[in-house]
Structure 1
Amino acid sequence: MPVPFEALIPFGIIAGMFTVTATGLGITRYLTNEGKPTRYGLDNWEKQMMERDRRLTGTLRGQSVKPIAPAAFATNSIWYLEKKISH
């Protein structure tokens, strides 16, 4: 007759691997978002503002308090990257 506590060793290994994976994913998201909460349900306006922030500061989550944009901001427009829509 098997001993019931023998199943605890594989269960502990599986639970430990789930914990390690979830912790690694959480740390990765935390570092990717520069320590800020993850954004969910983004609409077009928020995506455009994130792109503007990336062009201004170099990161998606960065924001600038300077009232005047840097000189490079005038020439690094996203419009140069978009494909033309032909009818």
Structure 2
Amino acid sequence: MVTHESCQQQYVVPMPWETFIPLGLLTVMFGASGTLLNAARRFQNDGKPPDYCLDKWDEMMQERNQRLTGSLRGQCAEEKAPLTFQTSSAWPVEKVA
């Protein structure tokens, strides 16, 4: 309460509760959009966090993993490659006449 000495009246300063609704909506929407963006990126990467700063070696390993497992981020634990890996070469082949 604020008291003005000349009038001897008491003024009640209201709390602006109506400002909390947009603030809450903005907070929830930023949180939801960030969570959905993170979930979409992880879904595209087979549940793993995204890769940054890939060099040539990483790109070659991703191409190999793509041919072995069908996924860029998938890995195979078998010691022998499947028979289909023999015919899915990374080198382009042209028929020589």
TM-score using structure 1 length: 0.75
* Cα distance in 1 for residues equivalent to 2:58 and 2:75: 13
| Shift of residue 69, structure 1, vs aligned partner | 1.5
- The residue number in structure 2 matching 1:84 is none
* Cα distance in 1 for residues equivalent to 2:23 and 2:56: 44
* Cα distance in 2 for residues equivalent to 1:37 and 1:24: 14
For the pair shown, the structure with the greater C-alpha radius of gyration is: 2
Task: Give the gaps of 5 or more residues in structure 1.
Answer: 82-87
| Equivalent residue in structure 2 for 1:11, among 6, 12, 23 | 23
- The residue number in structure 2 matching 1:27 is 39
Amino acid at match of 1:69: A
TM-score using structure 2 length: 0.69
* Cα distance in 2 for residues equivalent to 1:71 and 1:80: 19
Which is helix-richer, 1 or 2? 1
Q: What is the alpha-carbon root mean square deviation over aligned residues?
A: 2.2
| Shift of residue 54, structure 1, vs aligned partner | 1.0
* Cα distance in 1 for residues equivalent to 2:14 and 2:30: 26
- The residue number in structure 2 matching 1:60 is 72
Amino acid at match of 1:44: K
Amino acid at match of 1:25: L
Q: How many residue pairs are counted as aligned between the two chains?
A: 81
